[in-house]
C-alpha cells in the first residue's frame, strides 16, 4: 500500500538512487517543478520512470495555473493568462468568463496530459484582497466569492475533461494573509464571520477531488497552530463547517512558514486529520526521512485517494489543441503565441 506522501524529483531525469528510494518507500504521488520540465519528450520519459518505480499509474502533480505560475513555460509551452483575467471578464460577461476559463483549463489539461501529468495544483480559490500579500495577487480570481466559486467550478470541470484531477487551494482561504508563507508564517486576524466569507469559493467546489491546505494561522479558529497542523481547522472548519469530504493535502512542508523538524511537521499534519503530506525540496536523505514518516494509506484516506485517482481518468475523446485554441482566442482575444512579461513566481522562491 502506498504511503501518504507526495514527493518531488531532483531534476529532469530520475537517478538510480531516486528510483531505488521510490520503489522502497512507495509514495502515493510525485510533484514536478521547473527543474524537471525541459521538453515534452523528457517529461513523458520521466513520468513513465516514476510510475515504473512504484509499479502503478500514480498521480503526478504540477503547479500549472497560468500567468506567473507555470512549470510548463515559454518558450517551449505557450503562456496562458493569470486567473485574475477571468475575474475581470466576469464583470463584463459572466457566461463568457465561465466558458473562457473552462477552455483555459481544457488547454492546460491537454498540455499536461500530453506529457504524462494527471494532477494539477489549481485553481487558486483564495479571494483577492488589495491589502494582502502579492504572493496570491493575480493568481486569485476575484474578491467576490460568487465569482471565484463559479469560475472555480468551470476550471475544475475543464481539467477533468482533459483527464486531469484538480487540487483547489489554499483551503480554507489565505487571501487575507499579509505575509508570504514561502517566507514566514502569516497570522490572519479576521473574525469567524470574515473567514466564513473566504469559504464561499470552496463551498461552491465541494465536488473537487482534492484540496490543498495552506500554512497560515487563523487566529479566530486556532491561534496556536497553522491551518495545516490544526485539528480545529481541518476537522471542525473544513470537514464540518465547510462540509468538504474530498482528499486533503498539505502545501509544501519545506516552506519557511513551518520551522519544526521534518518528523514533527509530518506527525502534526497527520494528527490534524490531513490525508496526504507533501514535500517539494530537499536532499535524497531528507526525502527518505520524510517518506519514512508517512503512514500507509488506509481507511477514509485511502478511499479519498482512490476517488481522486478515478477523477483523473483519460477522456474518452481526446481534446484537439487547435480547436481549443481557436475557441479560446474567440472568447478572449488571447493568441497562442502571445508574448508577455510576468512578475516573479512566488512559488519558486526556494527552488526552481
Mean pLDDT of 145-153: 98
Residue 341: pLDDT over 70: no
- CA 317/CA 319 separation, integer angstroms: 6
Which of 142, 143, 40 has the alpha carbon at shortest distance from 101?
A: 142
Determine the Cα–Cα distance for residues 239 and 232; give it in Å rounded to an integer. 10
Taken as a whole, the chain contains a residue count of: 352
Query: pLDDT band at 337, cuts 50/70/90?
Result: low
% residues pLDDT > 90 (the chain): 85
Domains of the chain: 3-333 (3.20.20.300)
**Active centre residues (catalytic):** 182, 251
223-249 average pLDDT score: 98
Q: What is the pLDDT of residues 7-31, one digit of tens each?
A: 999 999 999 999 999 999 999 999 9
pLDDT of res. 259: 86
Outline where DSSP puts E strands in 47-194: 59-62, 64-66, 69-70, 119-120, 165-171, 187-188
Amino acid at each position: 500500500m502506498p504511503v501518504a506522501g507526495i514527493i518531488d524529483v531532483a531534476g529532469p531525469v530520475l537517478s538510480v538512487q531516486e528510483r531505488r528510494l521510490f520503489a522502497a518507500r512507495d509514495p502515493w504521488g510525485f510533484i514536478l517543478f521547473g527543474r524537471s520540465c525541459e521538453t515534452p519528450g523528457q517529461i513523458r520519459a520521466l513520468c513513465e520512470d516514476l510510475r515504473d518505480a512504484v509499479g502503478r499509474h500514480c498521480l503526478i502533480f504540477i503547479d500549472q495555473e497560468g500567468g506567473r505560475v507555470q512549470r510548463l513555460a515559454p518558450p517551449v509551452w505557450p503562456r496562458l493568462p493569470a486567473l485574475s483575467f477571468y475575474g475581470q471578464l466576469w464583470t463584463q460577461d459572466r457566461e463568457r468568463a465561465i466558458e473562457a476559463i473552462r477552455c483555459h483549463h481544457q488547454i492546460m489539461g491537454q498540455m499536461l496530459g500530453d506529457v504524462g501529468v494527471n494532477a494539477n495544483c489549481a485553481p487558486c480559490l483564495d479571494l483577492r484582497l488589495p491589502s494582502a500579500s502579492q504572493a496570491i495577487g493575480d493568481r486569485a480570481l476575484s474578491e467576490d466569492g460568487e465569482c471565484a466559486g463559479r469560475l472555480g467550478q468551470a476550471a475544475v470541470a475543464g481539467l477533468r475533461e482533459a483527464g486531469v484531477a484538480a487540487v483547489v487551494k489554499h483551503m480554507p482561504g489565505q487571501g487575507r494573509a499579509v505575509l508570504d508563507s514561502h517566507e514566514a508564517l502569516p497570522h490572519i486576524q479576521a473574525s469567524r464571520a470574515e473567514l466564513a466569507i473566504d469559504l464561499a469559493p470552496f463551498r461552491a467546489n465541494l465536488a473537487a477531488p482534492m484540496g490543498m491546505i495552506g500554512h497560515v494561522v487563523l487566529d479566530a479558529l486556532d491561534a496556536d497552530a497553522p491551518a495545516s497542523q490544526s485539528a480545529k481547522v481541518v476537522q471542525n472548519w473544513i470537514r464540518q463547517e465547510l462540509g468538504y469530504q474530498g482528499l486533503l493535502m498539505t502545501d509544501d512542508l519545506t516552506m519557511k512558514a513551518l520551522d519544526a523538524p521534518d518528523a514533527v511537521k509530518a506527525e502534526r499534519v497527520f494528527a490534524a486529520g490531513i490525508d496526504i503530506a507533501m514535500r517539494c525540496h530537499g536532499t535524497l536523505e531528507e526525502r527518505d526521512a520524510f517518506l519514512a514518516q508517512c503512514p500507509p494509506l488506509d481507511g477514509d484516506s485511502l478511499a479519498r485517494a482512490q476517488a481522486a485517482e478515478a477523477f483523473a481518468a483519460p477522456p474518452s475523446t481526446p481534446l484537439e489543441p487547435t480547436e481549443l485554441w481557436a475557441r479560446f482566442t474567440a472568447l478572449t482575444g488571447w493568441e497562442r503565441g502571445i508574448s508577455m512579461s510576468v512578475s516573479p513566481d512566488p512559488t519558486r522562491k526556494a527552488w526552481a
